[in-house]
């Protein structure tokens, strides 16, 4: 197979002119660095969570999955190392915009709000506290940066200029619709989805299709509802734990120094816990 992309976490192989194989590794990235540690089972968790959500929102928008059954993969990939962490998908013309939706004010959004009362140019009500739920979800797109560089916030007007108003409005509407349905479901499982990002593409007929990954601990902030308290940063099931450890320990990702085993194990456990709570299924290693 021809490898056409190697990202922070995923490897993409070209199967033929219509299909790709996405393989999710156990790599983990933070602050635009790929860290020198593999997180056991992380790739399988991301793959299984995405599969769960793709199916859950299939009534809202079609997705790129053809199969996650290893028996349907090309012969080269019918081996244990690819099982459970790979997807055979339709090749799409990917839209060069990260579709970010925020339901709560946190992270870079909170920082921006403190500075000028806005998030990505969207004026928000005065007096919001850190981690507070927003009156309604907001669409805050970014550019899709090259590996090792930062995504750049862009306004909705800029998206309209890039893609045309009709496609931009459809992207915004579908982003918020998918987030809202999934956030409402996650709330019944005791998880708050504070924010997330989606990627979309166009199929051979020019129809909008949901691709890449959906609502994983890598692309989202998952907070345990039982511990949620407005006015501070929250505990999380996502890779925020690794980010917080880096900040608190003074670890420099540039050095690529070894990461303690207990941090690796705790991170792995958080990914698995997120999967089991959301899907109500035991994770099969």
Residue with tokens 């998206």: 159
Per-residue pLDDT of 202-212, as tens digits, reads 999 999 999 99
Q: Give me the sign of the Cα torsion angle 87, 76, 10, 223.
A: positive
What pLDDT sits at residue 27?
96
- Mean pLDDT value across residues 130-139: 97
Pairing of strands 122-123, 65-67: unpaired
Is 216 in contact with 46 (CB distance < 8 Å)?
A: yes
Q: 118-122, 136-140, 167-171 — which is least confidently predicted?
A: 118-122
- Mean pLDDT value across residues 274-278: 94
Half-sphere exposure of residue 77: CA atoms within 13 angstroms, side-chain side: 28
Work out the angle at residue 273's Cα, subtended by the Cα atoms of residues 269 and 275, and round it to the nearest 5 degrees.
Answer: 120
Per-residue pLDDT of 193-247, as tens digits, reads 999 999 999 999 999 999 999 999 899 999 999 999 999 999 888 788 898 899 9
Confidence of residue 1 (pLDDT cuts 50, 70, 90): confident
- Average pLDDT over the chain, rounded to whole? 94
Residue with tokens 């893609």: 163
Is residue 99 scored above 90 in pLDDT?
yes
Pairing of strands 191-202, 220-224: antiparallel
pTM of the model: 0.92
Per-residue pLDDT of 4-20, as tens digits, reads 988 889 999 999 999 99
Distance CA 73, CA 194 (A): 35
Backbone angles phi, psi at 178, to 5 degrees: -65, -45
Report how far apart, in Å, the C-alpha atoms of 90 and of each of 13, 52, 64, 134, 203 are: 12, 18, 5, 35, 8
Per-residue pLDDT of 45-92, as tens digits, reads 999 999 999 999 999 999 999 999 999 999 999 999 999 999 999 999
Angle between the N-to-C axes of helices 165-188 and 42-56, in degrees from 0 to 180, rounded to the nearest 10: 110
Percentage of residues in the chain having pLDDT higher than 70: 98
What pLDDT sits at residue 150?
63
């Amino acid at each position: 197979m021809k490898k056409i992309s190697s990202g922070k976490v995923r490897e993409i192989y070209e199967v033929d002119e219509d299909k790709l194989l996405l393989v999710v590794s156990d790599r983990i990235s933070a602050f635009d660095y790929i860290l020198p540690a593999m997180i056991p089972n992380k790739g399988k968790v991301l793959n299984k969570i995405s599969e769960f959500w793709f199916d859950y929102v299939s009534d809202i928008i079609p997705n790129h999955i053809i199969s996650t059954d290893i028996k349907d993969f090309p012969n080269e990939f019918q081996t244990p190392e690819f099982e459970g962490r790979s997807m055979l998908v339709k090749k799409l013309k990917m839209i060069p915009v990260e579709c970010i939706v925020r339901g709560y004010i946190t992270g870079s959004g909170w920082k921006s709000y403190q500075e000028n009362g806005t998030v990505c140019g969207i004026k928000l009500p005065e007096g919001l506290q850190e981690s507070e739920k927003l009156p309604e979800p907001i669409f805050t797109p970014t550019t899709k940066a090259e590996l090792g560089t930062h995504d750049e916030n862009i306004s909705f007007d800029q998206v309209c200029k890039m893609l045309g108003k009709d496609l931009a409005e459809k992207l915004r509407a579908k982003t918020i619709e998918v987030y809202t349905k999934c956030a409402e479901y996650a709330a019944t499982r005791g998880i708050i989805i504070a924010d997330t990002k989606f990627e979309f593409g166009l199929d051979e007929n020019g129809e909008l299709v949901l691709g890449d990954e959906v609502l994983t601990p890598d692309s989202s902030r998952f907070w345990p509802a039982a511990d949620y308290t407005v006015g501070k940063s929250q505990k999380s099931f996502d890779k925020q734990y690794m980010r917080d450890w880096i900040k608190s320990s003074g670890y420099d990702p540039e050095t690529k120094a070894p990461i303690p085993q207990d941090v690796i194990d705790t991170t792995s456990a958080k990914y698995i816990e997120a999967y089991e709570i959301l899907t109500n299924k035991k994770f099969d290693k």
